[in-house]
Structure 1
């Protein structure tokens, strides 16, 4: 397995082996789980080369404590990847190597996608996402890059990023992977106690109830329904539940036939923030 810590060395390596070959890319912040591995498997199936980046990007955190507590499990991550395929190329750079002493975000406009939900709750987050991805795309020059639908807003923003920046990479969205109890797989789940991890199954259960409720009720009534459901679960703090147009991410005020809507949720349990979403078709 090839593991690189410096972008110059990775670029040189890819230049030497990638002639005429399609590169698939899976950018991550580590603490890998089955959802990440599913992205790698899809890349391995569809490309001659697959690159995985493991980099906890400081510019997309608007909460310093969250950055400090973000799980870092590099040794375990490498072991998981090696068991999947020794052909995967791993890029694990330092902050200095990526940012060259200037750890700041550039500013990005995503045609309003950045102003909804996560953008409202986490100022500057999507500037940080755009900053690191433009850097990584320039280093790897992937034919295709793979992102999970758990971060559905991020997926739409990355598609807009490559369109507006004229980046020649196809963005592939992949289904949410869930734990046996329905909890969306996330690196942050590692910070939950076992009891909270089990109790957090209620998030997906409520989303599924909301989807059924939405069939015969308005957006406002469905949002109130979700709020009331969480009143029965005092260990959770509901930050938001919104129903939005999948394409524009604008809130759904009145249902329009043939439009695709999605329910988005963010909740806290044990002071750990979890997000999830569901198609409201």
Structure 2
């Protein structure tokens, strides 16, 4: 940490240092907005920062690549780390004459004093699980992911004590799960209604959701990466026209396969593989039964989500379906 880049924004590397700053904010009755990130910032992250700047007296952003949400075979060591640039773009943010107030930049030892192992079976210490909510959707493909997310966000909420916290809609299951966690753990900073979900930021040219992992995509991979969201839009169209769940998902799956064939015909050096496309209830993430779709169409929003491998890069995306969807954001 002695080689930190220079920054006009105060940087705190320990919880003790940060808490001194936070006590002053409490004493001055100032609200604190919080944006947790793993760095490699893009405009999706910055949209969360700008929302926080607009709604709070002070805004804190954390940068911490969390080992507990990477399984042993995943990309922890190669995850993009661009701290100097991250600090530069943060310093450029300004809303209503307010700029980011602090960056929390802890080490792994600071966040996991007892150490941390990527293999769950080797882990020792205190971890947080949201039972029954972390096994579906993304949790089905990444069984230990939400355990790692819930653990680190609990730690961050305890350290930062934010008035408001902001998460991107691209990671919709994560955002809803964290709201549930905050409710169950009786947290006051933030309270459940102060965990905000901000719309996904997309590339204006092709609707690809912005993600730090997009940096992994090859030139050919970048050309086909919008396939996932386009397939979800196909399913959304069938849903809007009264289609059943199976009709929606079959149409989306067929669309992906069509794009795979088109990529081969165009000679693109890329391998696309669909992980899943599914519909889940917002309330509990349970898989939507095909027979229940008429009721859900009228009463509750549902999550239409998917994951697509583009070579070694796994992309995720989602669309909230239903007239009541906005009330969940």
Q: TM-score, normalised by structure 1?
A: 0.95
Match of 1:74 among 42, 67, 83: 83
CA distance in 1, matches of 2:288, 2:73: 33
Q: Cα deviations across residues 22-49 of structure 1 (Å, max 9, x unaligned)?
A: 1110000001011111101111111111
**1:187-202 to 2 correspondences below 5 Å:** 187-202=212-227
Q: Which residue of 2 aligns with 1:263?
A: 304
Structure 1, gaps ≥5 residues long: none
Cα 1:122/1:87, change in 2 over 3 Å: closer
What does residue 255 of structure 2 align with? 229
Tell me the C-alpha RMSD between the 2 structures: 1.6
Note the alpha carbon deviations across 1:236-258, whole angstroms, 9 max, x for none. Answer: 11101001112221111121122
1:274 is the counterpart of 2:315: yes
Structure 2: runs of 5 or more not aligned? 1-8, 117-122, 261-270, 323-329
Q: Which is further off, 174-183 or 111-120?
A: 111-120
Say which one has the larger Rg.
2
For the residue of structure 1 that corresponds to 2:130, the secondary structure is coil
Mapped partners of 1:132, 1:237: distance in 2 = 30
User: Secondary structure of the equivalent of 1:274?
Assistant: strand
Count of aligned pairs: 281
In the alignment, the residues of structure 2 paired with residue 268 and residue 260 of structure 1 have an alpha-carbon distance, to the nearest angstrom, of: 27
1:244 aligns with 2:285: no
Give secondary structure in 2 for the equivalent of 1:211. Answer: helix
TM-score between both structures, scaled by the size of structure 2: 0.82
Query: Which structure exhibits the higher relative contact order, with contacts defined as CA atoms closer than 8 Å and separated by 6 or more residues?
Result: 1
> Equivalent of 1:173, from 189, 193, 197?
197
Q: CA deviation at 1:138?
A: 0.9
Q: Which residue of 2 aligns with 1:47?
A: 56
- Are the counterparts in 1 of residues 33 and 165 from structure 2 also a CA contact under 8 Å? yes
1:8 maps to 2:16: yes
